Amino acid sequence: MRVGRWAWLVPIALVASCTAGPSTRPGIVVNDGEDAGSPGVVRQSGPAPLPELEEPQSTRIRWSACAAEVAATLPQAVAGSAQCARINGVLDSPYLPGQGIARLQLLRVGAGKYPLVVFNDVDGKPGTAYAAELATKLPPAFLEQFFLVGVDRRGTGRSDPVRCVPEEVRAGILQVDPRVPDVEEPLDQARSAGQQCSIALEARLPAIDTWRSAGDAESIRSALGVGKLNAIGHGEGSRVLSVFAERYPDRVGRVVLDGLPDSNTDAKVVLEATARAADDTFAAFAQDCAARACELGDAKTALNQVLDQATSAPAATADGTPLGPGVVLRAVLTGLADKSTWPALSKALADLRSGTPDGITALAAPLLTGTRDQPSTFDATLATRCND
pLDDT in tens, 142-151: 999 999 999 9
The rounded distance, in Å, linking the Cα atoms of 270 and 296 is 31
Band of residue 192 on the pLDDT scale cut at 50, 70, 90: confident
Between 81 and 269, where is the model more confident?
81
Band of residue 10 on the pLDDT scale cut at 50, 70, 90: low
Instruction: Report the SS3 class of residue 159.
Output: coil
Percentage of the chain exceeding pLDDT 90: 61
> If you average pLDDT over every residue of the chain, what do you get?
86
- Among the residue ranges 5-19, 93-107, 175-189, the one predicted with the least confidence is 5-19
**For residue 161, is pLDDT > 70?**
yes
**For residue 16, is pLDDT > 60?**
no
Q: Is 313 exposed, middle or buried (0-12, 13-18, 19+ CB in 10 A)?
A: exposed
Between 160 and 168, where is the model more confident?
160
Q: What is the pLDDT of residue 133?
A: 95
DSSP-assigned beta bridge partners for residue 377 = none
**pLDDT, tens digit (0-9, with 9 covering 90-100), for 62-111:** 999 999 999 999 999 999 999 999 999 999 999 999 999 999 999 999 99
> Which residue pairs, CB below 8 angstroms and at least 24 apart, start in 83-90?
83/107, 83/108, 83/109, 84/108, 84/128, 85/61, 86/158, 87/60, 87/61, 87/219, 87/220, 87/223, 88/219, 89/154, 89/215, 89/216, 89/219, 89/220, 90/215, 90/219
Considering only the top CATH level, what class is 64-160+208-258?
A: alpha beta
Segment 15-22 mean pLDDT: 50
Percentage of the chain exceeding pLDDT 70: 84
Tally Cβ neighbours within 10 Å of residue 307.
23
The rounded distance, in Å, linking the Cα atoms of 157 and 259 is 21
Segment 144-162 mean pLDDT: 96
The structure's pTM equals 0.84
Q: What is the pLDDT of residue 19?
A: 47
From 377, 352, 113, 372, select the one nearest 236 (Cα to Cα).
377
Among the residues of the chain, which ranges form H helices? 5-14, 68-71, 76-79, 127-135, 140-145, 167-174, 184-201, 210-224, 237-247, 267-291, 299-312, 325-336, 342-353, 358-368, 377-387
Between 172 and 328, where is the model more confident?
328
Q: What is the pLDDT of residue 87?
A: 98
**For residue 201, is pLDDT > 80?**
yes
How far is C-alpha 252 from the geometric centre of its chain's CA atoms? 22
Containing H/E element for 232? strand 229-234
Helices (H) and strands (E) in the chain, counts: 15, 7
**For residue 47, is pLDDT > 90?**
no
Rounded alpha-carbon distances, angstroms, from residue 375 to 92, 139, 161, 236, 254: 23, 31, 7, 19, 32
Domain boundaries defined on the chain: 64-160+208-258, 265-368
From 366, 367, 99, 88, select the one nearest 207 (Cα to Cα).
99
Q: What is the pLDDT of residue 102?
A: 96
Containing H/E element for 258? strand 252-258
Segment 133-160 mean pLDDT: 96
Band of residue 278 on the pLDDT scale cut at 50, 70, 90: confident
How far is C-alpha 189 from the geometric centre of its chain's CA atoms? 22
**pLDDT, tens digit (0-9, with 9 covering 90-100), for 203-222:** 999 999 999 999 999 999 99
- Among the residue ranges 1-10, 105-114, 131-140, 334-343, the one predicted with the least confidence is 1-10
